[in-house]
Chains A and B, each alone.
Chain A
Amino acid sequence: MSKIHITTQVNGDAVEFLCEPDETLLDVLRDRLNLTGAKEGCGTGDCGACSVTLNGRLVASCLVLGAEVAGSEIETVEGVGTADALHPVQQHLLDHAALQCGICTPGIIVAAKALLLQNPNPSEEEVRYWLAGNLCRCTGYDKIIRAVLSAAAEMRGENA
């Protein structure tokens, strides 16, 4: 099989890689670009652990081919916040103890950030629907939802 040469942008940086035609974006990120934040929970679009944004759109990177992202803008959890300055979603997930094993957390962060960009003031129901494709085996979801709602409040400048 001949590899495909792709030039694209990840977290603001220009990157290039060679990939197999049937290699997923998730595998490219993890195995070729060393960005192991996105996780593989299922590989079939069901769990959301591999969530990234592609040209601003939330997607499951296990359901995108590496070959499909030429000339795109990709954001992964590595592009959200820094160790010294966490994104409000990250800080509130910590404050609410909204993770245990943490496998779902990168996907939740990317998905929640994408939600708050397009809807700064979501209702609890809207948060639950938006995150319905992000499965968590540990927390029972409630703390995650509270964390996202209070991060949203902080980002709107309210004291939640």
Chain B
Amino acid sequence: MRYVVAKDSREAVALLNTGENARLLAGGTDVLVQMKLGNKAPSLLVDIKAIIGFSDISAENGGFRIGAAVSGAEMGEHAGLKAMWPGVVEAVELIGSTQVQGRATMVGNLCNGSPAADAVPAMLAAGAVARIEGPSGTRDMQVADLLEGPGKTKLGKAELISSVYLPARPERSGDAYLRFIPRTEMDIAVASAGVNLVLDENGCVLEATVALGAVAPTAVMVPNAGAALVGSPLEEQALEACAAACEAACNPIDDKRGTVEFRTKIAGVMATRAAKIAYTRAGGQL
């Protein structure tokens, strides 16, 4: 295996395009584990952490652009980002231990393609947009449109994500992410939910986006669950309709960590609890 530090995106893309069995290396908390376990042995590792701009969190058009090499710990330490998108940051901060946080990136979490990746439902709910560099140039794509299946994304072979943009927010908005795991730290989500809300002046929900993790081959948006909350001050009836819509969207696996019934039920519970947190963060009174 060769190890190369890419100086810029163009070099990284060119290295991916050589026909070698190349892999990008960000924090390495998935790549190095997979190499150690003997699957997916690459012949070329392309380290993207030294590319200028990849380690930056920058304010842009009222939102934030987060570079592909920014670690979870760095996102958690950014007061402005945390104030604007607390749900996305709390989702990223749930990834692994303190040690894993020192390395793991949000983009790596997305590109690894796990259906249970914690950052992904929060990014979907937030309407996050990925900036993609490839042989034919730069393009922007909704994170939601990049998901493909376990271990897969819709990125082309020689494409990489340079950053993710979290858009500006109107007044009275808030987001939240919750996952269920059998212990309190260091485990993989059995079911999870990200919720993003905008309220009107009377505390009624104006816009709602709900996304679920670990209950289908990819994280999924649940438009009906969001629609169930719109127009409500989050009263019991609306929450029940939201939970029912979440349950209807579930197509989970059955394993020792959670049965189909359990995962389905819990997905709705996580979504309604996350909705309540997002609601209070948006300034609503429950």
Tell me the complex Cα distance, A4–B266, Å: 49
Are A48 and B97 closer than 8 Å at their CB atoms?
Answer: yes
Q: Which of B33-41, B135-143, B166-174, B257-265 contacts A (4 or more CB under 8 A)?
A: B33-41
Tell me the complex Cα distance, A67–B98, Å: 22
Are A64 and B33 closer than 8 Å at their CB atoms?
Answer: no
Known: A21-B3, A46-B186. A133 touches B35 (CB 8 A): no
User: What residue in chain B is nearest A118 (Cβ atoms)?
Assistant: B77
Known: A58-B102, A63-B100, A132-B186. A44 touches B3 (CB 8 A): no
Mark each residue of chain B from 1 to 18: 1 if its CB lies under 8 Å from any CB of chain A, else 0. 111000000000000000
Chain B nearest CB, measured from A62 CB (Å)? 8
Known: A58-B102, A133-B98. A65 touches B36 (CB 8 A): no
| CB contact list, B100-148 vs A, under 8 A | 100, 102-103
Tell me the complex Cα distance, A6–B99, Å: 23
Chain A nearest CB, measured from B21 CB (Å)? 13
Contacts of B73 in A (CB 8 A): 57
Are B100 and A133 closer than 8 Å at their CB atoms?
Answer: yes
Q: Which listed residue (A51, A65, A132, A133) contacts B28, Cβ 8 A?
A: A65
Q: Which listed residue (A21, A46, A62, A111) contacts B98, Cβ 8 A?
A: A111
Asked if B32 is at the interface (CB within 8 A of a chain A CB), the reply is yes
Chain A nearest CB, measured from B218 CB (Å)? 24
Chain A nearest CB, measured from B42 CB (Å)? 9
Tell me the complex Cα distance, A79–B25, Å: 29
Are B98 and A43 closer than 8 Å at their CB atoms?
Answer: no
Tell me the complex Cα distance, A117–B252, Å: 43
A sample of 25 inter-chain contacts (CB < 8 A) reads A1-B1, A21-B1, A22-B35, A24-B32, A45-B29, A45-B97, A45-B99, A51-B99, A58-B98, A58-B99, A58-B102, A62-B32, A62-B36, A63-B103, A65-B3, A65-B28, A68-B47, A68-B49, A111-B98, A132-B184, A133-B96, A133-B99, A133-B185, A133-B186, A134-B97
- A-B contact sample (13 more), CB < 8 A, given A21-B1, A65-B25: A21-B2, A21-B45, A22-B35, A54-B102, A57-B71, A58-B98, A59-B99, A59-B102, A63-B33, A65-B32, A111-B98, A129-B185, A130-B98
Q: Residues of B with Cβ closer than 8 Å to A? A: 1-3, 25, 27-29, 32-33, 35-37, 45, 47, 49, 71, 73, 96-100, 102-103, 184-186
